[in-house]
Amino acid sequence: MPMLLSGEVALEIMMVPAGWKLFLMLLVSAMVSYLLGCFNGAVIVSKYILRDDVRNHGSGNAGLTNFHRTFGGPLTAVVILADVLKAVLAVLLGAWVFGTMGAVLFGKYWAALFCLLGHMFPCMFHFKGGKGILSGGTIAIMIDWRIALVVWGGFLILSILTKYVSLGSLWAGASFPFATWLCYPEPIIVVLGFFIGGLVVWQHRGNIQRLLGGTENKFSLHHKTEGKS
């Protein structure tokens, strides 16, 4: 009987029009990736473990930099792990779902976009999340080492030399679509790349204003502040 039911289900799936199959694949991968992105480590650790929501401090941003500046300590590693793991799972999911139709690369970018949307605008945390740097950097690594080299290389150089994490972050967001274009000059992939990079840059619009105004705080491994991040 289980074999019969399995066969019936498989037959029903085969009878679904190709357009509906694609729609369902897009919808399911987008929803699951978004929900994965909503698993915000900074909010969960600060709100439910430390009992002090990180969004009530500093810039109000639910990201790694603001968490470290506000709380520091070993729990920062938990935030890092959460942001990395959800990005890895989302990209793997997209690759798996669309791998059946030979569109692994598209699946990675599609899932990555919605994972970042979940991280930045989590529905269970009043759509107030992080800026997507760590998750975005993980996505770059999962997609292509060449893109990751451009994104991470510029990020590290600018952040170390200037001590402005936001400046390195802006490089990461702005360079991602262009690195994508150089590696994969396919219109739909480049468009998704620009959406992903554009989201990161948009989330740092406040940092751009502070950088231009000379009021942006520099990053330190040894001091916690209530400053902007």
Calculate mean pLDDT across residues 149-155: 96
Amino acid at 148: A
What average pLDDT does the structure give for the chain? 85
Q: What is the mean pLDDT of residues 159-186?
A: 94
**Domain edges within the chain:** 18-213
DSSP string, 112-156: HHHHHHHHHS-GGGTT-----HHHHHHHHHHH-HHHHHHHHHHHH
CB count in 10 Å sphere of residue 1: 5
Name the token pair of 162.
């200037």
CA 215 vs CA 41, 61, 136: distances in Å = 27, 17, 25
Give the model confidence (pLDDT) of 77-105 as tens digits.
888 899 999 999 999 999 999 988 889 99
Query: Which has the minimum average pLDDT: 93-107, 134-148, 208-222?
Result: 208-222
Whether the Cβ atoms of residue 73 and residue 89 lie closer than 8 Å to each other: no
- Model pTM above 0.85: no
d(CA 229, CA 20): 43
Is 50 exceeded by the pLDDT of residue 11?
Answer: no
Residue 36 has pLDDT above 50, yes or no: yes
- pLDDT tier at 126 (50, 70, 90 boundaries)? confident
Q: Which tokens belong to 208?
A: 């751009």
* Whether residue 158 has pLDDT greater than 80: yes
